[in-house]
Structure 1
Amino acid sequence: MTVHFVGAGPGAADLLTVRATRLLAEADVVLYPGTYLDPAVLGHCSPSAELVDSQRLDLDEITERLVAAHSAGHDVVRLTSGDPSLYSALAEQTRRLDGAGVPWDVTPGVPAYAAAAALVGRELTVPLVTQSVVLTRTRARSTPMPEGESLKSYAATGATLVLHLAITRTRELMAGLEPAYGADCPVLVVHRASQPAELVLRGTVGTIADAVEEAGLRQAAVILVGRALEPRAGGESYLYDPARVR
């Protein structure tokens, strides 16, 4: 049997891929991140599947569950929030599975930042404004950031910033970004994009911290920062220029 790491998307039950829903329907065991997942996603699972909420399991306990299910001949799905390529602990879990001789594969999902951008109707790469997006996080109660990956360095590029796992430090982070982006630079905070409890806060580098604190947000939110978020910002893409397409 194979352990399938499956991106559950931002949370909405209808934002999973066709492959993801098929794997969930066929799985005997499903481990899911209860902290971030809309329970409706689990409606794709077989009624007979064993459902395991991983939010209070450590990495070794999760691995034990995956290995035990594989050894019992069960099809296993390990759901991750968003897409497995971002902040999913895929590297740690698959290292352990390799050591145990357990095969695995990965099915991508809709990342939270993409769902957030869709919700607010913004393109993150706008011609003549910015053509780069930086996906990053900051250090709080987590592993250290690698040397050279400072927020100050990323801010100097002027790229659209997407900050994960950072909502509790919004005020501190905005103070650090203001010299590069300016106090009037647009900021969007999206909490639980695509889920019933979704919430969008709009502001600027200078004002968004007040809005976040007033809303009492503590988790499950992404912060988008950059001039590309301004309505009607930028120019037009050369890709569709009449001189090019004729």
Structure 2
Amino acid sequence: MNEWTRYGANSPIPARLRSRRRPVIWLFVGVLLMVGAIRLIGENRPGAAGVLGFAGGVTILVQTGKLISRTRTLRGRPRLAARRGWTYRAEDTALPASTRLEQFLRDAPPAFAVVSGTENGVEFVVFDQTRDIGGHDTFYLARLPRPLPVGRVSIADGQLVGGDIGTPEVAALFTAELLGRIEEALPGCGYVVTGEWVNTPVTALLSPRPREIEQRIDAMTRVAALLSDAADELTSAG
């Protein structure tokens, strides 16, 4: 059994339904704004009508995009998992906190549209979380086969760009050669490495397509394998 299949408690209102409910509410608000703009036009107040109409139009466009994005996620994610032989769970309330990552330890929303499995010999999990404003974020996590002697390191464009990059352990592990191989996994993809995880942070208005998810899973798990192998070589040399 994969580590990620242990958790599966559901809340009374599933996150996948809450994620749809918020955009629908905001769509209703957008429609009300448009109705108000039409009434202001009838009252010969074009300035106020323009402001209200613009706000209503933007609200409707943005929330329609979010609703389409969620529908694509909830329909496409199970198909992707079935095609690749991975595990899919509609919701997992325990998953975010179970990672013990700081970003998920403070009132983290439940994970939904969860895909987990093994790629390149490394366990991974992909899931979404709903934001209060109705949007949602996609998280990609790969569990390092063996914990690394580092705190938190950020990598972008084949370089160390943040975190505990001044420690001797990081300097010994993240050589120029290793950073180059990490960049080759998926050029332009950034990573956050902790002692136990590799995370590829992604923030976007629309949810990722299945092909993008597969690419990031492949890159993230390859990077995790590279880091573990490099750590083993350091241990053997020491």
TM-score range, shorter chain: under 0.3
- Greater Rg over alpha carbons, structure: 2
